Structure 1
Amino acid sequence: MAGPMGRMMAGTGPENRSIDFKVSGRRLLAQFKPERLTLYAMLFCVVLSVGLNVVGPKILGQATDLVFAGIIGRQMPSGASKEEVLASMRERGDGQVADMLRSTDFTPGEGIDFTAVGHVLLFAVGVFLVAGLLMAVATRLVNRTVNRTMFRMREDVQTKLSRLPLSYFDKRQRGEVLSRATNDIDNIGQTLQQSMGQLINSLLTIIGVLAMMFWVSWLLALVALVTVPLSFVVATRVGKRSQPHFVQQWRTTGKLNAHIEEMYTGHTLVKVFGRQDESAAQFAEQNDALYEAGFKAQFNSGVMQPLMMFVSNINYVLVAVVGGLRVASGSLSIGDVQAFIQYSRQFSMPLTQVASMANLVQSGVASAERIFELLDAEEQEADPVSSARPEELRGRVALEHVSFRYDPEKPLIEDLSLKVEPGHTVAIVGPTGAGKTTLVNLLMRFYDVSDGRITLDGVDIARMSRDDLRAGIGMVLQDTWLFGGTIAENIAYGASRDVTRGEIEEAARAAHADRFIRTLPEGYDTVIDDEGSGVSAGEKQLITIARAFLSDPVILVLDEATSSVDTRTEVLIQKAMAKLAHGVMENGSIVEQGTHTDLLEADGAYARLYKAQFAQAVAEVD
């Protein structure tokens, strides 16, 4: 068959819709269900690690108390008890100093007990070492969990893409779809790698540190909590400002990828028509939009950390002032205040990290929403549960009053009836937009008819499974597709069984590709890439025709498959067909039917098209 694609391109990308971060976040977390055991092990390691890290400052506080007690004890007269020394200080008018030293466990006349200090410090080192090892194990488990989850998501996307109807891809730019399957999944993976373990660690640290702070001093704990509402307000305000910018950033990334992909695949035409400047201007426009969205997203998220650090410093000052007063009154020891200041830092840092990661998570959730939108897209209609199949596949095709429309308001094919007998070759000829390629799509069930039916050997193809239907049909499209490999491998791709080199060469000869293949340095073993570099457009089409011949289908469909070969070769390929009948389509209807000779004698639409394209070439061949 000949003719350009008759499909309707509706828009340049998916519709914009609001992002529900809560729903998307829950769906993203649900992806981790198969990794529950690994997550439990990771959580166990994190809990132990956080617990040890939280105990650490208290242990160091004991070391500080030992050092301070030794310094004070050395300055006191030996032979007296602690109570006697404090009473003597009060008699001298140093009651405030005596109150401050009341909570210090010193022995008058004795200096620093370095053995005890060493034991405490050694114990602290052991605690921090074990905590670090546990966190390393937890990080390894997080990496394993995230990578396995992303592996499954990629498989889900790949499976989904294979189930989507052709209409889904017709309505979207290819680069935009590819961006979802690559960039968005990579962004989700990076987001989870960076935030998942750290987020759990930070939340548990906040809980553990808060418990220790109340244990050391409930008053200082309440002082430390004064700044929490301020931190929450800062995180909420900045987070809400960042959300729409992250969404726009990834949408714009998809559009930019689509533009680059289009310009790369069509770079020859861009240069031929001198559209480099226009292409560069469009790229600059998309790039500027991405810059603007990315800048706003990153600026808003970047503001978070300095603001949270400012709040943290306020907290630090309050704790230091109140803690100093408590030490002066003798209610707390120096070591406890030192430990509490460390806890204050430990408490503020996770809050800052959680706030910063909230923006990172927003970026990941924005990508997750795009992935879920793809996964939620309506799939092609499922095959019948009990599919029918012709007893013997002979290739008799009948179109019975077929009508089809992409847009309900714009019919493309109306009441079309056609019969093709086994062994016959039918050429559907017509001007651009007549519906020739649409007819192919209906036969292959890329689309289903709006009215009427198509039968194959008397069986309605709507009752057949798509695999059974397409197994008997070979197809060569106007747009050639090759994969990275040898020419022989590309031709053999059309066979459902292992084929010999002789069968491959026979198919190439039938497609008139053997001659040019043998002129290549490695012949059939010449390696080409997916773009077919090293062979011309016409030679690529001959390879795809040979591939279709090798599949030995009951029905062979050529959708303008010879558009890139020279006219003389096209005539030779057409002459290789057994019988030739022709139908001429205009505006979705067959206006002429008959043999080649009959249609030429009728001097109608077919004759005009034939004379315009083939008359001179036939004369040369004959």
Structure 2
Amino acid sequence: MIITQYYCRLLKWITPYWKTLSIAILFLAIMALTLSMLPAFIKQILNSIFVNKDPESIQFVALAIIMLFIIYGTASYISIHAINAASNKLGIDLRIAMFHKLLNMPVQYHDNLTRCNLATRFIVDIDQITHTISNVIIILVKDSLTLIGLTAWMFYLNWELSLLGLLIAPIIVLSIQLFDRLIHKTNQQARQISEALTQGLLNTIDNYKTIKLYGGLWREKQHFRRQAEQVYQATMHQVVIKALGISLGQAILILILTAIVYLMTQQAYYNKIIMEDVGSFIVAILIFILPVQRISSIYQHLQQGQRAIENLFSFLTYESKPDTGTMVIEAAQGELTFERVSFSFHSQAESVLDNLSFVIKPGEVVAFIVPNCSDKTIFMDLILRFLCPTGGRILLDGHDVANLKLTNLHANIAMISQNQGLLDKTIAANIAYGTMRCASEAKITAASQASHAMDFIREMPQGLQTHVGEGEIELTEQQCQYLAIARVFLKNPPILILEDVPMTINSESQHLQATLESLMQGRTTLIITQQHCLSEKIDRIFVLENGKITETRKWNKLFTKQGNCIKFFQSLFKANRDGQSSKNTHK
């Protein structure tokens, strides 16, 4: 079923390009006119050959037909170019609108988004929409006008035969639509069976060890064979339907042409129609067939594009929570307070984080050991206000972060993760990113020197302006981390979050650790990690387990008594010793 409201909404997006579309429609009309005029020229050339036998007239008509095809080809080029220009500009607008919407989506949406879904929405769906728009415009304008012109000419030649053709045309259209819908249904069934085969294959790969362990190889082979047979049967069913449709279509066409030719011969026998009219009428019918087929398939084109349009508008109308904060802190000190903060998802009765209360003073370095990855992510998202607490509140310098403008809150926080990626094309643009894009080269250079990123930047061909990334100079993970540190130095926020960044006594990257410790000076620093975190720069260590803080310990009292924190490190050191012993054994 075609839902017209989606196409009406899409019409609003394409109206800005009405001038380009007007050019396309004009030249599509010229194409329709040239096709409609061809049978008239055929009549003239037949008349010149068999009746008048005038060589000059034959040459003139032949040249006119050549000019007609030249005009048709030129109009075809211009119309195709104009339609695709308008539809592709529409595609750009839709992609930009989707990207803007994506940036404003809540963090939960990004967490559930896969690369496959992203590629489908931004590439496949938009391409399908632009393709549908182009085809529908061509069919509605060129083919419709062609049918009108040919019908008028055929009625001029012989109204009886034309009336017969018009009576038969709806039967042809209905037959084509019936087979199109039948083919669409079989395609959907075949697609579902293919998806089931793919899902079964992926399930076998994911559980390969278990299948071998329990001797399930024979069962999996038999199951896959049955699914493969189903795919074969579905494919053959498609082939049968298509072949049957082609055969019946050809049979109906032959019967119709035979009937029309028979009637024309009867009329010619009684001198009701002359030979040149017969030839012109036959040419008109042959041209008539293709537009009828295309107009009959317009439902299929609309049906194919509808799914993509539904996905588009469901995405664009997805409700994103607006920023309700109004307060601005000019110069934050960096005091961070959790007051009985709890968080739970609506679908879960238990709290993910439960009644967290603590105060981090300005300039204090605090480590949070969170063994659960999900709890760690939620904890950081609450601080960054990507998520809102379901209970309690988070304060920055005594102000509820819910009342702060989101841009102001983020201006006071920087974050460095273990796996830092590149954000722009040049080294300078990666450091002066986002709101810092207008920073002077002197400030960028100073940040690079403070972060020791300048040690490898000097060796680059163009220094700070060197292009990096895919297809350019590739940077190591450690070099990307130095750029991230330089970005923080340039931003100079009062609060720093380090996510899973190594801060260990025996770190292999001592130079990087020293740079991080330099960055932490004078900043409220939260080291949030699933791993061990041993550094004399840490003032306190919190252990967050099962949504609660189960251990709080100052660094100088870390090893003085038993507790969750000391047990965690004891098990960690034991694991490290066992790992080292295993390596020595293999050696």
Q: What's the TM-score once normalised by structure 2's chain length?
A: 0.77
What is the Cα deviation at residue 299 of structure 1? 8.4
Aligned to 1:415: 355
Contact 1:305 1:352 in 2 (8 A): no
Letter in 2 for 1:590: I
Deviations 1:100-122 (A, max 9, x none): xxxxxxxxxxxx23334444444
Alpha-carbon spacing, 1:33–1:566, altered in 2? closer, same or farther (3 Å) = farther
Structure 1 pair 342–138 and aligned structure 2 pair: CA distance change class (3 A): same
537 and 115 in structure 1: CA distance in 2 versus 1, 3 angstrom threshold: closer
Would you say how many aligned residue pairs link Structure 1 and Structure 2? Answer: 536
Matched, 1:49 2:8: no
- Going from structure 1 to structure 2, the CA distance change for 1:245 and 1:196 (only over 3 Å counts) comes to farther
Deviation (angstroms), 1:378: 2.8
Structure 1 pair 475–301 and aligned structure 2 pair: CA distance change class (3 A): farther
- Contact 2:146 2:291 (8 Å CA) reproduced: yes
1:333 aligns to 2:274 (yes or no): yes
Contact 1:541 1:562 in 2 (8 A): no
Distance apart, 1:345 and its partner CA: 1.1
Query: Are residues 172 and 454 of structure 1, via their aligned partners in 2, closer, same or farther at CA, if it must alter by over 3 Å?
Result: same
1:223-266 Cα distance to aligned partner (Å, 9 max, x none)? 2234323322332223323445667899999999999xx9xxxx
2:91 to 150, 171, 175: 150
Tell me, yes or no, if the aligned pair for 1:202 and 1:354 is still in contact at 8 Å. yes
Q: Which residue of structure 1 aligns with residue 118 of structure 2?
A: 177
Asked if the contact 1:399/1:453 (under 8 Å) is kept, the reply is yes
**Contact (CA 8 Å) 1:404, 1:414: kept in 2 or not?**
yes
What is the CA–CA distance in structure 1 between the aligned matches of 2:100 and 2:235, rounded to whole Å?
31
Q: Is the 8 Å Cα contact of residues 175 and 258 (structure 1) preserved in structure 2?
A: no
Aligned partners of 1:65 and 1:531: how far apart in 2? 66
Partner of 1:498: 440
CA contact (8 A) 2:180 2:297 kept: no
Deviation at 1:412, TM superposition (A): 0.3
Output the CA distance in 2 between the equivalents of 1:531 and 1:556.
Answer: 32
Write out aligned runs for 1:7-18 (5 A): none
Q: 2:338 — aligned with what?
A: 399
Partners of 2:412 and 2:493 within 8 A in 1: yes
Give the Cα separation in 2 of the matches to 1:447 and 1:604: 31
Q: Which moved more, 1:307-316 or 1:413-422?
A: 307-316
Alignment of 1:593 with 2:552, yes or no, is yes
Task: Sort the Cα spacing of 1:121 and 1:433 in 2 relative to 1 into closer, same or farther, 3 A.
Answer: closer
Greater alpha carbon shift after TM alignment, 189-198 vs 299-308: 299-308
Which residue of 36, 56, 62 maps to 2:18? 36
Report percent identity of matched pairs.
Answer: 23
Q: Following TM superposition, by how much is the alpha carbon of 1:450 offset from its aligned partner in structure 2, in angstroms? A: 1.7
| TM-score, scaled relative to structure 1 | 0.73
Rounded to whole Å, the distance in 1 between the matches of 2:310 and 2:140 is: 21
| Aligned counterparts of 2:361 and 2:237: Cα–Cα separation in 1 | 64
Structure 2 matches for 1:360-509, cutoff 5 A? 360-379=301-320, 381-384=321-324, 387-406=326-345, 407-433=347-373, 435-483=375-423, 485=425, 490-493=430-433, 496=436, 497-500=439-442, 502-509=445-452
- In the TM superposition, residue 382 of structure 1 has moved relative to its aligned partner by 0.7
Q: Residue deviations 1:500-531, cap 9 Å, x none?
A: 4642433433xxx677x489786977865359
Q: Which moved more, 1:166-175 or 1:528-537?
A: 528-537
Against the structure 1 CA distance between its residues 502 and 63, is the aligned structure 2 distance closer, same or farther, given a 3 Å change threshold? closer
Query: What is the rounded CA distance, in whole Å, between the counterparts of 1:521 and 1:53 in structure 2?
Result: 63
Residue 59 (structure 1) aligns with:
41
Q: Which one-letter code corresponds to 1:442 in the other structure?
A: L
Distance between the aligned counterparts of 1:365 and 1:573, measured in 2? Answer: 55
1:357-403 C-alpha deviation (Å, 9 max, x unpaired):
65455433333333333323332x1112x711124322222222222
Structure 1 pair 248–593 and aligned structure 2 pair: CA distance change class (3 A) = farther
1:159-198 per-position Cα deviation (integer Å, ceiling 9, x unaligned): 1211111111222322222222123223333444456425
- Structure 1 residues 563 and 170, CA, compared in 2 at 3 Å: closer, same or farther? farther
> More relative contact order in 1 or in 2 (CA 8 Å, sep 6+)?
1
Take 2:273 and 2:504, find their aligned partners in 1: how far apart are those partners? 89
Which string of whole-angstrom CA distances, capped at 9 and with x for unpartnered residues, describes residues 249-305 of structure 1? 99999999999xx9xxxxxxx9xxxxxxx9xx9xx99x9899999998898678766
- Unpaired stretches in structure 1, ≥5 consecutive residues: 1-18, 71-111, 263-269, 271-277, 618-622
Asked if the contact 2:553/2:565 (under 8 Å) is kept, the reply is: no
Is the counterpart of residue 137 in structure 1 residue 78 in structure 2? yes
SS in 2 for 1:401: strand
CA 1:131 to 1:495, structure 2 compared with 1: closer, same or farther past 3 Å? closer
Q: Which runs of 4+ in 1 moved over 6 A?
A: 245-259, 287-303, 518-527, 563-566, 614-617
User: Aligned equivalents of 1:520 and 1:258: distance in 2?
Assistant: 49
* Alpha-carbon distance in 1 for matches of 2:473, 2:61: 71
Equivalence for 1:11? none
Whole-angstrom distance in 1 between the partners of 2:6 and 2:553: 59
Query: If you compute each CA radius of gyration, which structure gives the higher value, 1 or 2?
Result: 1
Which residue in 2 is equivalent to 1:620? none
> Displacement of 1:446 after TM fit?
1.6
Structure 1 distance, partners of 2:505, 2:306, is 49
Instruction: Give the one of 576, 580, 589 matched to 2:539.
Output: 580
Shift of 1:553: 1.6
Equivalent position SS for 2:96: helix
1:457 partner amino acid: D
Question: 1:103 maps to what in 2?
Answer: none
Q: Give the conservation status (yes or no) of the 8 Å contact 2:340–2:393.
A: yes
